[in-house]
Copies of this chain bind each other. A is one copy, B any other.
Amino acid sequence: MNIAGAAARTGLPPKTIRYYEDIGLVRPDRSANGYRDFGGPDLHKLAFLARARSLGFTIEDCRALLALYEDRQRTSADVKRVAEEHLARIDRKLAELESMRQALGRLVERCQGDERPECPIIDDLAGGSPAAERPAA
């Protein structure tokens, strides 16, 4: 199966599939004309990668997970450890974004959004009330 077929089956863009080959995540055969030829196992790996990436795993996580996927000696503890580390990264990022969302949301609420120049958002950025309105900043 050509790259466009593999792309259609996995939802990954052809460019991404080529990139995954570049970095050694898949090794499709080559047809006589030099075209990549994806077999069943390649398609499974690509689908695996697409799913893992959609869960936010990094490429290196994906590499490790693929290796575990193909390792019959793996333990579920190995897999769980990778997933839990990623979960922790997600939680840290969520906390960061939620804190931003809260701070920015408060400022936006207080901004009149009219034709006048006075603006609590700009005031805050400019250092407005350096310790009062931004507790524990």
User: Bound state CA distance, A55 and B75, in angstroms?
Assistant: 41
Main secondary structure of the interface of A (DSSP, over half): helix
Q: Which of A12-20, A21-29, A31-39, A79-87 is found at the contact surface with chain B?
A: A79-87
Closest beta carbon of chain B to A45's beta carbon, Å:
9
Closest beta carbon of chain B to A29's beta carbon, Å:
21
Contacts of A107 in B (CB 8 A): 83
Does A30 interact with chain B (Cβ within 8 Å)?
no
Closest beta carbon of chain B to A7's beta carbon, Å:
17
- Docked-complex contact B97 and A97, CB < 8 angstroms: yes
* Given A44-B126, A75-B116, A126-B69; A90-B97 close (CB under 8 Å): yes
- A-B contact list, 28 entries, CB within 8 Å: A44-B127, A48-B127, A51-B124, A51-B127, A55-B104, A68-B122, A74-B119, A74-B122, A75-B114, A75-B116, A75-B117, A76-B114, A76-B115, A76-B117, A77-B113, A77-B115, A80-B111, A80-B119, A83-B107, A83-B111, A84-B108, A87-B104, A90-B100, A90-B104, A91-B101, A93-B97, A94-B101, A97-B97
